[in-house]
Structure 1
């Protein structure tokens, strides 16, 4: 009997990349860049995979306490010293004082980790000057896409300001798709990625900024569910990337996304001129001009990738775009089999042999066209608009009603009403 091996999403991605190396579709150095490993480590896990199969990819220490884990009592003692005797010392100095005066030999990284877990930051920060240089392009198309949005007066006063959302391939500089939106929003990025997946396939990684569309703010408080689960819930676009198996890479500065930042400089020159020549005055007209502009731009500025072939992954036959490219929310069905979403009320009909879904936890899908769908355990449920609720009438106090009648502009009428 074969042993069952359970792999998490990260390990499944490693398995997919190693299979591509095995059949010769990807080189070891490319696999190292995609997985974030050194070439030596890729060769090590590849050898283990050839020997033991998928079981070699599961971490051997999963569920075990680290051998070098620090004693909780030691952590408590370190925190007590930094908050009293050595208050105000920076991390490096504090580490040296612990070794010299308290006979506590710890590495600076361990001391820093203990302090950061307790919310104590070093009072002194040093940022040495950095030398910036252009990063080498990824060797194959589809390995990395840079995505971003640019808000600009694209219509030069003939219409409203618009946000241009685009994706550029890192290996070739090809603009895979772009669209104008009123604002830089999540729906725009959903439409962008869907068009890319349908036209080319699923890329291996996306390079983006730290906008709230892609990741949650660190200072945003965690919900009770997130605290119990031990991880922050992803944004809608972050959830989309997880479902598609796309690696999310955040940049810390615009200079790190130089390729797409330079693209905006070019577009704000060439594309603005094209929009002016076409006389575009609104978002719809601007998108039409953009559709004609992109093929010519790519023909002129796209360069060949260092290696032939494509790293785009094609979705499986069971892939349903409407089920993936949508906003998803969890809701609880009411006792009357009605689920509420915003200002909408949907009546769930008997589906899949089940007559009632009262109090069930379902998943609401808000699709890109604005329609709604209800899913339970992966199955789409039959729904219809629920009848409107009757207005809630409340009994009024007789005394208060009498008092309202007694108040009048005419004192004589008020007195008569009060006697009644």
Structure 2
């Protein structure tokens, strides 16, 4: 409109026998000298003179249409379900397309592709816009295409102050998700509350004691003994007293016993918002990690756990606070032997008529430190112990600890028919020291202490 106005005023001056240049300058808001310049240009070039030279040209920093189409196709076919920040990083890393997050967001949102992490306010705005477009749609096909671009908004968790020290409070949780197509695994995760740093992560098929033991082992090996764990009220962590006075019928968690041996406090809550940091980080991992697993070609849970170690370092570098600037209250890392013996599972078994113990459909014989079998009469109660590395032991009479060796169903070779048969020599077996906390008397004292603790809480709540 501004160009048309200039053209009409200058044309009127050129056609008028006595042009009033002062009135024209006042109308266009310019000087008489510029009026003379435009008159000369009109007489030389005509109406074309008033068209801006950059009209119809694209700016130098314009993103080409083929690049926009490539970005949209990559998101829909290869990087789907990635949030836009992560998608921008993936484009730069794998496709050689370096753009800002805002540019990528505008390109995708122009096709009504919304981020999985879109805010509620923006989601409402776009919903309103899409509804208006849907009402104005001329065909039902066009209306259906607009409707399919809507995505659900994400709810935010409430915030609370961070802990003061690194290792003071570790939030622990497990999240089930379809991390690879067709396989739902449980990611066991531990987050430091002060720094937001991942200190342990492990995939398992279910939320199990084994998964949390692997996370605990990573924490003890890499950082040391923390001050406190904060978890949900899963039976893996909490002790719930039954309506029976017998200790044998009480439910006891072995994770809590391992924490007790290392001096780690264990606190639980049934409210997810109480451990909001690990809950929010679960959402971050669910948004990013499946894309990374798919691009890396991960198909098995074993390969996923190996790949997870590399991803944890990248996530910590990107999302956590520098832990070197925050005072650490982790105690000194225990030895590998102590970690192995502490993160153990315990259960009671009785000796059968063959002087053996049965566990998980396998039979085991008891061996002393010289590798020789020891015998107890039928019905002797023992504590069956499986260490973190898989080795098995048993404790008899609160005093004697023996190594266990599985009895195969069939002999590997025959003494009478195989010429290369050699009589197996007993090997010296490692036996934990007699003061080890596997002794049952200490175990039952801790169970009794837990029972009194829950009795006091029930009285206080009543």
* Range into which the TM-score falls when normalised by the shorter chain: 0.5 to 0.7
C-alpha deviation, 1:275, in angstroms? 1.8
2:237 match: 214
Q: Distance in 2 between matches of 1:290 and 1:296?
A: 10
1:368 Cα deviation after fit? 4.1
Deviation at 1:383, TM superposition (A): 4.1
Q: Which runs of 5+ in 1 are unaligned?
A: 1-131, 390-420
**What is the CA-CA distance between 1:178 and the residue it aligns to?**
1.0
Spell out the pairing of 1:178-217 with structure 2 (5 A cutoff). 178-217=201-240
Q: CA distance change for structure 1 residues 318 and 134 in 2, over 3 Å: closer, same or farther? A: closer
Q: Could you tell me how far apart the structure 2 residues matched to 1:224 and 1:238 are?
A: 20
**1:225 corresponding residue in structure 2:** 247
- The answer to whether the 8 A contact 2:340-2:389 is kept is no
Instruction: Tell me, in whole angstroms, the C-alpha distance in 2 between the residues paired with 1:275 and 1:354.
Output: 48
Q: Which residue of 1 aligns with 2:384?
A: 364
After TM superposition, list the pairs within 5 Å mapping 1:52-91 onto structure 2: none
8 A contact 1:140–1:305 mirrored in 2 = no
2 CA distance for matches of 1:305 and 1:385?
A: 45
Change (3 A) 1:151 1:354: closer
Does residue 337 of structure 1 match 2:360? no
1:176 maps to which of 182, 199, 214? 199
1:240 to 242, 249, 258: 258
The normalised TM-score by structure 2 is 0.48
Could you tell me which residue of structure 2 aligns to residue 9 of structure 1?
A: none
8 A contact 2:341–2:388 mirrored in 1:
no
Q: What is the aligned partner in structure 1 of residue 178 from structure 2?
A: 153
CA distance in 1 between partners of 2:221 and 2:358 (Å)? 32
- Any idea what the Cα deviations from partners look like across 1:128-179, whole Å, max 9, x if unmatched? xxxx963221111111101101101112x2x411111111001110001212
2:402 maps to 1:381: yes
Matches within 5 A, 1:156-167: 157=181, 159-167=182-190
Structure-1-length-normalised TM-score: 0.53
> Which one of the candidate residues 239, 255, 270 is aligned to 2:273?
255
Residues matched between the structures, number: 251
Q: Distance in 2 between matches of 1:306 and 1:138?
A: 15
Q: 1:383 to 1:179 in 2, by over 3 A?
A: closer
Paired with 1:388 and 1:290, the residues of 2 have a C-alpha distance of: 38
Q: Deviations over 1:276-319 (max 9, x none)?
A: 32232332332233222111111111114697432111255695
Shift of the alpha carbon at 1:225?
Answer: 2.3
Question: Is 1:323 aligned to residue 341 of structure 2?
Answer: yes
CA distance in 1, matches of 2:302, 2:348: 34
| Cα distance between partner residues in 2 of 1:221 and 1:345 | 34
- Give the one of 275, 278, 301 matched to 2:319: 301
In the alignment, the residues of structure 1 paired with residue 186 and residue 373 of structure 2 have an alpha-carbon distance, to the nearest angstrom, of 46
After superposition, residues 130-141 of structure 1 pair within 5 angstroms as: 134-141=159-166
In 1, the alpha carbon distance for the partners of 2:173 and 2:185 equals 14
CA deviation digits over 1:82-127, x for unaligned, max 9?
A: xxxxxxxxxxxxxxxxxxxxxxxxxxxxxxxxxxxxxxxxxxxxxx
**Cα gap change, 1:295/1:384 in structure 2, threshold over 3 Å: closer, same or farther?**
closer
Cα-Cα RMSD: 3.1
Offset at residue 273 of structure 1 (A)? 2.1
State yes or no: 1:287 paired with 2:309: no
Q: Which moved more, 1:204-213 or 1:267-276?
A: 267-276
Contact 1:173 1:302 survives alignment (8 Å): yes
CA gap of 1:191–1:317, structure 2 versus 1, over 3 A, is closer
Contact 1:274 1:289 (8 Å CA) reproduced: no
Distance in 2 separating the partners of 1:154 and 1:316 = 33
Whether the 8 Å CA contact 1:338–1:386 is kept in 2: the answer is: no
**TM-aligned CA distance change 1:281 to 1:345, over 3 Å:** closer
Aligned to 1:144: 169
